[in-house]
Homo-oligomer: A and B are copies of this chain.
Amino acid sequence: MTNPSPRPVTTHDVARRAGVSQATVSLVLSGNPRARVAQATRERVMEAAEELGYRPNILARGLVRGKSYAIGVVVPDLTNPFFLDVVTGAQRVAAEAGYAVLPGDTRESTPSRHLEALRARQVDGVIIDGVGAAALPHDALSELKVVVVDEPSERWPGVASDALAAGRLAAEHLVGLGHRRLAFVGPATDVHGFRMRERGFFQALRAAGIALPHPWLVRTPPTVSGGLAAMKTLLASPSRPTAVFCANDLIAMGALKAALKAGVDVPRELSIVGCDDIEMASVVTPELTTIAVPARELGARAARLLLRQLEGQEVSVKPTRLLPVRLVRRATTAVAPAEGTGDREQGTAGNNG
Contact = CB atoms under 8 A, between A and B. Distances in A.
Nearest to A138: B2
B139 A59 contact: no
A284 interface: yes
Interface size range of chain A in the complex: 35 or more
Nearest to A227: B283
A78 B68 contact: no
A59 B55 contact: no
Interface stretch (A27-35, A116-124, A231-239): A116-124
Contact of A117 (B59, B95, B257, B279): B95
A102 interface: yes
Nearest to A122: B59
A118 to B, nearest CB: 9
Interface string A251-286: 001101100110000000000000000011001110
Nearest to A254: B283
Closest 7 CB pairs of A and B: A2-B139, A59-B59, A260-B285, A59-B62, A59-B63, A59-B122, A253-B283
A100 B81 CA distance: 22
A153 interface: no
Interface in A56-89: 56-60, 62-63, 68, 70, 78-79, 81, 84-85, 88
Interface of A: 2, 6, 8, 55-60, 62-63, 68, 70, 78-79, 81, 84-85, 88, 91-92, 95, 100-104, 108, 117, 119-122, 139, 142-143, 224, 253-254, 256-257, 260-261, 279-280, 283-285
A24 B197 CA distance: 55
Indicate how many identical chains form the complex: 2
B79 A79 contact: no
A100 B108 CA distance: 16
A21 to B, nearest CB: 21
20 contacts: A2-B142, A6-B143, A55-B119, A57-B63, A57-B122, A59-B59, A59-B62, A59-B68, A78-B84, A79-B84, A79-B85, A84-B84, A95-B117, A100-B102, A100-B121, A103-B103, A254-B283, A257-B285, A280-B283, A283-B284
A285 to B, nearest CB: 5
A8 B284 contact: no
A226 to B, nearest CB: 12
Contact of A8 (B70, B81, B143, B261): B143
Contact of A122 (B58, B81, B121, B122): B58
A119 B58 CA distance: 9
B108 A92 contact: yes
Nearest to A56: B120
A102 to B, nearest CB: 6
A142 B55 CA distance: 13
Nearest to A1: B139
A85 to B, nearest CB: 8
A79 to B, nearest CB: 6
